[in-house]
Structure 1
Amino acid sequence: MIEPNLSKELSDNIVDIPRNFDIVVVGGGIVGITAAVEAGRAGYRTALVAGDFGGKFLREGIPAGFYHENARFIRHCMRYRGHHGIVIGKLSLDMHQLVAEKDETVRQEEAKLRKQLDDAGVYVFSGAGRPLTNGMIDVKEENGNQIRLTWKRLIVATGLKAQERETLKHYTEVVEDDSVCEFNKIPEEMTILGSGVRACEAASLFQTLGTHVSIVTDKSALLKNLDAQIVGRLEEQMKRRGTKVYLKMRPVDIYKDSLKMTHIELASVDAEAERKGGRPKTEHTVISSTIYVPTLYKGNLSGLSQLRLDIDDGFIVTDSFNRTSLKQVYAVGGITGQCQMPYEGRIQAKMLIENLVAEDRDKPRRMMDVYQMPHFIHTFPEVASIGLTTQEASIEHDDIKVGLAPLGDEPGSLFKNDKQGFVKVIVDGKYHEILGVHIIGENACEFIAQVQALMVMEGTTMDLARIVHPIPSLSLAMEEAFEQIEQ
């Protein structure tokens, strides 16, 4: 990896920096870095134009993951205290050390990414890129220098751009995605205005760290596009652990008291305004020191106007092979409006490079099947899902079979007191092809990987029966759920 604006030796010999590349990747987030690394490893002369090296992955993803792992440890200590002969005293957090270790973790992850690029022979240009339609790109480096590069193929991986928040602009208590994990002390109360994956993950994290959490959403469920039984169990578990959940509710008034605590008055989304007050009657009042509003995003189109690509609702339009409306220009990750999660974008980037190699060798290309892309939600308990939900399978298939096994009930399990989770499998009634698997419980995100491998190969329940699971382990529940279908 060569960074022209950082390396004094290279800046003194600027003529030695390559200007012509097989592939130029625009976007320094994890998706762009993955595309550049894979292209370099495939033998292409590759440049990465990174205006913000690491992007949201380093600024938000790694800190959130770090705190999640700490919260998981705390949860295990609290959960098993007094069980299995485990004796644990009072737990406390050293926030100074915690923040210092978080910062060090971010530095280590950045070093790993830079080493991957270096090992793959990728040239890194730190600065803003402005691609042109004639196979060129102007790069304005951080030190003010401007360099023009040429490309045979251009990959746009500029990711997402936060939309400006319309509400609560003048409240300093409000945090968004870029600041929710930037704290020097654990907030005593947190109200989350919104639903979805980020809202649920933040609620689980801060509740475990000792914060009194409330979630307020105008939706009828905390998560969408997931199996209703899984979502219902997650809501149940979050409430049982102390999180207050207000569904189909909306704020109608927000004010501060004399102690500078924020009061949020809630009313039903179906409530009609009272004649005198001009607003619906308050049904609940939430008092909070911190308010988290999950950020809304659009595609980051900065610097791309010269390409004049087809855009739909703020995202670049691509086909099944990530090709844009301009020849030899591709787009991957959040900028496409499809794979907005980092793990999805990375797979998309890897498959794109694989297809470019296949195209150059006159070999068949592969399309990414979004249906076979697993979804991970790092809550407590974890949620992992792949394929069709029960409702979707019932619509698309005439005959389906469903198996369900609670975690902790399988013979040989050491986790008898873990009754919160279960595995739900859905298969085609005739051929027993796996249509969907949904898991809630400890380590659910790790269990789902073996199912994805089988689904890619159009595997059946018999194929899964051949997988050997260790005893004792929670993964035996997967085997139990599939065996129910065979009975």
Structure 2
Amino acid sequence: MNYDLIVIGSGPGGYVAAIRAAQLGLKTAIVEKESLGGICLNWGCIPTKALLKSAQVFEYINHAADYGIKVNGAEADFEAVIKRSRGVADGMSKGIQFLMKKNKIDVIMGYGKIKKGGKVEIKTADGSVKEYTAKHTILATGGRSRELPNLKQDGKKIIGYRDAMVLPKLPKSLVVVGSGAIGVEFAYFYATMGTKVTIVEFMDNIVPVEDEEISKQLARSFKKVGIEIMTKSSVEAVNTSGELCKVSIKTESGVKEIEAEVVLSAVGVTTNIEGIGLEDVGVKTDKGKVLVDKFYKTNVDGVYAIGDIVMGQALAHVASAEGIICVEKIAGHHPEPLDYNNIPGCTYCSPEIASVGYTEKKAKEAGYEIKVGKFPFSASGKASAAGAKDGFVKVIFDAKYGEFLGAHMIGTNVTEMIAEIVVARKLETTGMEIVKSVHPHPTMSEAIMEAAADAYGEVIHL
């Protein structure tokens, strides 16, 4: 019952931290109230990518004639698509079980709560309570779908992302409230499957955290496939008393009412910090986040926090990196603090979006004199051959020293291309070094080299 480390939460922050701790010789246990792998593996990153792959396959089949192939009578079996997604998630969760056994990590199923004196209380599903002792405890309890007061989720007509993954049938119409990654991924999935989709976004552009040119390109691509987009708009109320939801939307020109079978609330996530003992132990929080130092130690000795419940981007790969840094520090190593300005963000709608570093606007606001280069996929041989000419790569360099300030991409498979920029920025690569690094032809990734060349007036294929 005594451990060097207990990790509460087994998402991509928690399970990665536990594995790294075991590798470093710490006697480790992990606590999980639902399914190993947390939201990411069971209800987030992984099952949504399975759904999106089904949508992409369906889209390919529907456009097979563009590639010289005739296909007749293709139809989507919505239940089978959902079933496949759940199967993928279950397989990944079983993979985490294997990793726990392999690394000799004790898995304790139940609800974990920290107590004074390095104690962790765990309440199991049958109501029994056990107490464990740990020299160190990492809180990795993640987040859940945020609920707005005027958009209370009932799981049937007003739903969150979990419900959106397991709807019993394909809705004829859907209003998506919020156009962050979750919102636009589901908008693309359902629109491709045949649902009439409307996106409502409060900000000036969809995917508002992205570079403005990326946002505008995605809006163009979405409109081409029939997705309606309402920006500078907010859902004021939803009347669910009838067969269809009556959605009142405040726009610049007044209040509009539209009808939809289902309303998906995708207005972000809120942290799971209630009921885990923070107040009892005296752990400091601010605006729903646990306060930590650069190695994720809280103000209470022996208590640490990582992932969505601390400041920083609420992304799986961020949580994993934080978990590794936290554990290495606990084990007496000297890890580098995480550079939160070099975290890639990826959105898996179609076309995909990937970005890292400064947007053009933020670079200017930071006082940089900049060089900007762009290369459209319409000029890429590989993109033309693949029938994927939508989108572009945009790169931003500091004009004085050539520092790689940021990159923003929209197009097919760009989420697989962004890592080059992350590594380049980590290694302090300059713009001309990218230009002079030979990229393979024909590939989508050539667009990075071409965009960098465009920034320096040396682009060949434009």
TM normalised by structure 2 equals 0.91
- Candidates 80, 94, 118, aligned match of 2:77: 94
The corresponding residue for 2:300 is 326
Q: Give the Cα separation in 2 of the matches to 1:254 and 1:97.
A: 30
Indicate whether 1:336 and 2:305 are aligned.
no
For the 8 Å contact 1:27–1:48, the answer to whether it is kept is: yes
Deviation at 1:129, TM superposition (A): 1.6
The corresponding residue for 2:287 is 313
Indicate whether 1:198 and 2:198 are aligned.
no
Deviation at 1:370, TM superposition (A): 0.7
Indicate whether 1:110 and 2:98 are aligned.
no
The corresponding residue for 1:39 is 21
Alignment partner of 1:242: what SS? Answer: coil
- Candidates 373, 377, 400, aligned match of 1:403: 373
- Candidates 132, 153, 171, aligned match of 1:149: 132
1:418 partner amino acid:
A
Deviation at 1:326, TM superposition (A): 1.0
Between structure 1 and structure 2, the one with the greater Rg is 1
State the Cα deviation string for residues 350-388 of structure 1 (Å, max 9, x = none).
22223334xx25xx3311011000001111100000000
State the Cα deviation string for residues 182-224 of structure 1 (Å, max 9, x = none).
1122111101122322111111111111111001233221122
Alignment of 1:251-266 (within 5 A): 251=235, 254-255=238-239, 260-266=243-249
Q: Give the Cα separation in 2 of the matches to 1:123 and 1:170.
A: 35
Tell me: CA distance 1:352–1:207, structure 2 relative to 1, closer, same or farther (3 Å): same
- Candidates 185, 205, 222, aligned match of 1:221: 205
Identity across aligned pairs (percent)? 25
- Which one is further off, 295-304 or 129-138? 295-304
Deviation at 1:296, TM superposition (A): 4.7
- Candidates 62, 67, 79, aligned match of 1:84: 67
Indicate whether 1:288 and 2:288 are aligned.
no
Indicate whether 1:174 and 2:150 are aligned.
no
Alignment partner of 1:222: what SS? Answer: coil
The corresponding residue for 1:371 is 341
The corresponding residue for 2:276 is 303
The corresponding residue for 2:123 is 140
Q: Give the Cα separation in 2 of the matches to 1:254 and 1:326.
A: 44
For the 8 Å contact 2:177–2:267, the answer to whether it is kept is: no
Deviation at 1:303, TM superposition (A): 2.0
For the 8 Å contact 2:150–2:237, the answer to whether it is kept is: no
5+ residue gaps, structure 2: none
Tell me: CA distance 1:250–1:107, structure 2 relative to 1, closer, same or farther (3 Å): closer
For the 8 Å contact 2:157–2:240, the answer to whether it is kept is: no
Tell me: CA distance 1:427–1:335, structure 2 relative to 1, closer, same or farther (3 Å): same
Tell me: CA distance 1:125–1:245, structure 2 relative to 1, closer, same or farther (3 Å): same
Deviation at 1:112, TM superposition (A): 0.3
Q: Give the Cα separation in 2 of the matches to 1:110 and 1:222.
A: 32
Alignment partner of 2:168: what SS? Answer: coil
For the 8 Å contact 2:136–2:302, the answer to whether it is kept is: yes
The corresponding residue for 1:461 is 431
Deviation at 1:315, TM superposition (A): 1.3
- Which one is further off, 464-473 or 229-238? 464-473
- Which one is further off, 129-138 or 465-474? 465-474
Deviation at 1:470, TM superposition (A): 3.2
- Which one is further off, 373-382 or 322-331? 322-331
Deviation at 1:415, TM superposition (A): 3.3
Alignment partner of 2:120: what SS? Answer: strand
The number of residue pairs the alignment matches comes to 452
TM normalised by structure 1 equals 0.87
Deviation at 1:445, TM superposition (A): 0.6
State the Cα deviation string for residues 394-414 of structure 1 (Å, max 9, x = none).
232442111100014135654
Deviation at 1:264, TM superposition (A): 2.6
1:303 partner amino acid:
I
Tell me: CA distance 1:467–1:144, structure 2 relative to 1, closer, same or farther (3 Å): farther
Indicate whether 1:248 and 2:232 are aligned.
yes
5+ residue gaps, structure 1: 1-18, 272-280
- Which one is further off, 164-173 or 22-31? 164-173
Indicate whether 1:380 and 2:350 are aligned.
yes
For the 8 Å contact 2:357–2:407, the answer to whether it is kept is: yes
2:312 partner amino acid:
Q
- Candidates 134, 143, 168, aligned match of 1:160: 143
The corresponding residue for 1:14 is none
Q: Give the Cα separation in 2 of the matches to 1:190 and 1:111.
A: 33
Deviation at 1:170, TM superposition (A): 8.3
For the 8 Å contact 1:397–1:428, the answer to whether it is kept is: no
Tell me: CA distance 1:285–1:437, structure 2 relative to 1, closer, same or farther (3 Å): same
Deviation at 1:136, TM superposition (A): 1.6
Deviation at 1:266, TM superposition (A): 3.2
Q: Give the Cα separation in 2 of the matches to 1:416 and 1:446.
A: 16
Tell me: CA distance 1:373–1:169, structure 2 relative to 1, closer, same or farther (3 Å): closer
Deviation at 1:254, TM superposition (A): 4.5
Alignment of 1:61-72 (within 5 A): 61=44, 62-72=46-56
Tell me: CA distance 1:73–1:161, structure 2 relative to 1, closer, same or farther (3 Å): closer
Q: Give the Cα separation in 1 of the matches to 2:268 and 2:363.
A: 30
- Candidates 422, 447, 461, aligned match of 1:477: 447
Deviation at 1:261, TM superposition (A): 2.5
Deviation at 1:329, TM superposition (A): 1.6
Deviation at 1:236, TM superposition (A): 1.4
